[in-house]
Amino acid sequence: MKWFFSGLIIISLIFAVVNGKVSELTTAAVSEGGNAITLCFTLAGVICLWSGVMRVASQSGIIEKISNLFTPLLSLLFKGLNPKGAAMGYIVLNITANLLGLGNASTPFGIAAMRELEKEEHSSEFATNNMVLFVVLNTASLQLIPTTVAAIRLKHGSAAPMDILIPVWLVSAATLTVAVITAKLLQKSPKGL
């Protein structure tokens, strides 16, 4: 993380000088903090809502029921994870929300899943294999209906806004497969990268 953080900022300054965009860079540095706060406030509302709903759901045993449905499949991917644990529950919810395209709901579930994975797998400063796999799943698109794209296509007068559906499915599935296989292959190296 420290290399990612400092690397991006150093590269930004170099490119800004080359492109003559130093004043834009300064503006970004000053205003991006505000954007982070705005994002946190937006996220806060949604996270609090879902934490509340999920708390009720887990106390009444719904989470356990939903997890039981999907767990057999996901247990194949997430090796060694307790199928009845809270982490698996949130992973299931995150993936369900992703499939339905509920972006606002999937992020809070994902964050909760990461925190539960941390507890269950006692991760140190190194991410565990299951954490990596879970994040990699979320960096690929799982959304079944690309609603945003279809809406923009419609707005720009497309004759068939949804005819990209099949290519989107094929490309998403292929991309996801490549990403998961790469994650599984790379996890064998002891320290990762």
Partner 1 sequence: MSLSDFVIPLLFVFVLIFGLAKKVDVFAEFVKGVKEGVQTVTDIFPSLFALMLAVGMFRSSGALDLISSSIAPLGEFFGYPPETLPLILMRPFSGSGAIALYENIISEVGPDSFTGRLASVILGSSETTFYTIAVYFAATKVKKTRHTLPAALSGDLALVVFATMFVR
Cα dihedral 153→154→160→162 (10° resolution): 70
Q: List the interface residues with partner 1, window 116-135 (CB under 8 A).
A: 117-118, 123, 125-127, 131-132, 134-135
Token reading at 12: 């930004």
Query: Residues near 17 by Cβ (< 8 Å), separated by ≥ 6?
Result: none
Residues in the chain: 193
Q: Is 77 a binder of partner 1 (CB under 8 A)?
A: no
Does position 76 interact with partner 1 (CB under 8 A)? The reply is: no
Name which of residues 135 to 164 contact partner 1 (CB under 8 A).
Answer: 135-136, 138-141, 143, 145-149, 152-153, 156-161, 164
Q: How far is the CB of 73 from partner 1 (least distance, A)?
A: 20
**Which CB atom, from 72 or from 126, has the smaller least distance to partner 1?**
126
In the bound state with partner 1, the residue whose beta carbon lies nearer, of 71 and 129, is 129
Binding test (CB under 8 A) with partner 1, winner from 47, 81, 86, 95:
47
Cα(117)–Cα(120) distance, rounded to whole angstroms? Answer: 5
- Please choose, from the candidates 49, 56, 60, the residue with its C-alpha nearest in 3D space to the C-alpha of residue 108: 49
Residues 160-189 that bind partner 1 (CB under 8 A): 160-161, 164, 167-168, 170-172, 174-176, 178-180, 182-183, 186-187, 189
Part of the chain binding partner 1 (CB under 8 A), chosen from 31-39, 67-75, 78-86: 31-39
x/- binding map, residues 80-99, to partner 1, per CB under 8 A? Answer: --------------------
42-69 burial, b for 16+ CB within 10 Å, e for fewer?
Answer: eeeeebeebeeebeebeeeeebeeebee
- The Cα 98–Cα 176 span in angstroms is 13
User: How far is the C-alpha of 157 from the C-alpha of 155, rounded, in Å?
Assistant: 6
When the beta carbons of 57 and 74 are compared against partner 1, the nearer one is 57
Binding to partner 1 by residue 68, rule CB under 8 A? Answer: no
* Number of residues in contact with partner 1 under rule CB under 8 A: 105
Q: Is the CB of 27 or the CB of 72 nearer to partner 1?
A: 27
Beta carbons within 8 Å of 84's beta carbon, 6+ residues apart: 64, 67, 71
